[in-house]
C-alpha cells in the first residue's frame, strides 16, 4: 500500500483546517475566520483501499511575529517541514492579494526538496480574485490543483494526486486502535480546542488573540452523562468581562454551543462548566 506524511502550509485562513476536516470526514482541527486558530501542528490519518495518509495541519505563517504566541506558531509550522515529510501541500487563497506574508510562506516552501503541490483553494468564490498574482509561482511546483475545501470540490482529484506521490510502505499508523483520527490530541485537548472555537465564533475581533482554553476534568457520571470542567484564560480583565458578557450571557452561549456539539459527537448527555480567568502570562507558557 502507499503511505506517507503530507504537510499543509500556507498563510492564515487559507483553509488548511477545513481541507483536513473534510478529507477526514469529521472535525480534527477547529476552524474560524480569524487568524491564530490553529496553534500547533495537528496530525490526522486518512485511510482507504489505496493506502494511508498522515496529514499535518500546520499553523498559518505570519509575516510579523509581534508576540510570543505568533512567534511560536511560525516556529512550529517551519519545524514540521524539517521532519520526515513525503509531500507538501501549499495552500493559496486566490481571493486575497499576494503580500509579505505570502512571500514569507513561499520562501519557506522553496527550501523544501520534496514534491510539492500548489493547491488553490476557494475556487467557489469568483470575485474578488487575484489569481493572476500567483501564476508565476506555478512552475515551481510538481503540479497545481484548484479546489473548494468548503464545498468538497476536487477533493477526490487531490487525494488521487497525493497518493501518486507517496511511497510503497507498510502503514504508519495502526488505525484499528484509534478512537479519533487526530493522532496527537487526547480528549481534553480536543474539547479545549472546541471551546476555543466557540469562543472565536461568538466574540468580537480583538478578543480571540488574547484567549486560550484549558480542560481540567472530563468524567463520566453514573447516568452515563459526561461532565466537563474547563477554563478560558485571557490576558486582561477587560477581556474577561467581554467573554463572560452581561449577566453571564456570552459564556453561557459558548458553553451551550460546546455542549450541543459534544452531545452530537458522543450521543450522550453532556454538562459543560466553564469559568473565565485572567492570566497575563499564558502565551509565554504555551509549548
Listed by start position, the domains of the chain span 2-177, 187-285
**CB 183 within 8 Å of CB 44:** yes
DSSP letter for 192, please: H
Residues forming the annotated binding site? Answer: 10-17, 57-61, 121-124
pLDDT tens, 16-55?
Answer: 888 988 998 877 765 555 555 555 567 788 889 999 998 8
Going by C-beta distance under 8 Å and a sequence separation of 6 or more, which residues neighbour residue 40?
A: 59, 76, 287
Residues forming the annotated binding site for GTP? Answer: 10-17, 57-61, 121-124
pLDDT tens, 123-166?
Answer: 999 999 999 999 988 999 999 999 999 999 999 999 999 999 99
Record the pTM: 0.69
What is the topology classification, in CATH, of domain 187-285? GMP Synthetase; Chain A, domain 3 (3.30.300)
Architecture in CATH of 2-177:
3-Layer(aba) Sandwich (3.40)
Amino acid at each position: 500500500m502507499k503511505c506517507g506524511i503530507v504537510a499543509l502550509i500556507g498563510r492564515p485562513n487559507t483553509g488548511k483546517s477545513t481541507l483536513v476536516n473534510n478529507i477526514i470526514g469529521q472535525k480534527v482541527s477547529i476552524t474560524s475566520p480569524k487568524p491564530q486558530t490553529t496553534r500547533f501542528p495537528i496530525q490526522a490519518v486518512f485511510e482507504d483501499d489505496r493506502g494511508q495518509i498522515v496529514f499535518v495541519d500546520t499553523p498559518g505563517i505570519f509575516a510579523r511575529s509581534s508576540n510570543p504566541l505568533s512567534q511560536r506558531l511560525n516556529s512550529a509550522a517551519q519545524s514540521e517541514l524539517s521532519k520526515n515529510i513525503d509531500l507538501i501541500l501549499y495552500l493559496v487563497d486566490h481571493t486575497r492579494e499576494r503580500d509579505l506574508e505570502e512571500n514569507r510562506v513561499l520562501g519557506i516552501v522553496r527550501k523544501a526538496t520534496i514534491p510539492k503541490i500548489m493547491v488553490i483553494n476557494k475556487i467557489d468564490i469568483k470575485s474578488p480574485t487575484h489569481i493572476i498574482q500567483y501564476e508565476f509561482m506555478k512552475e515551481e511546483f510538481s503540479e497545481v490543483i484548484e479546489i473548494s475545501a468548503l464545498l468538497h470540490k476536487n477533493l477526490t482529484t487531490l487525494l488521487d494526486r497525493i497518493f501518486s506521490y507517496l511511497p510503497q510502505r507498510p502503514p504508519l499508523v495502526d488505525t484499528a486502535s484509534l478512537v479519533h483520527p487526530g493522532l496527537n490530541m487526547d480528549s481534553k485537548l480536543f474539547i479545549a480546542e472546541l471551546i476555543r472555537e466557540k469562543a472565536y465564533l461568538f466574540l468580537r475581533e480583538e478578543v480571540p488573540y488574547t484567549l486560550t482554553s484549558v480542560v481540567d476534568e472530563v468524567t463520566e457520571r453514573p447516568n452515563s452523562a459526561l461532565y466537563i470542567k474547563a477554563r478560558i484564560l485571557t490576558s486582561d480583565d477587560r477581556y474577561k468581562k467581554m467573554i463572560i458578557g452581561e449577566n453571564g450571557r456570552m459564556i453561557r452561549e459558548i458553553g451551550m454551543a460546546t455542549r450541543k456539539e459534544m452531545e452530537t459527537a458522543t450521543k450522550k448527555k453532556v454538562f459543560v462548566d466553564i469559568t473565565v480567568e485572567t492570566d497575563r502570562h499564558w502565551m509565554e507558557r504555551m509549548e
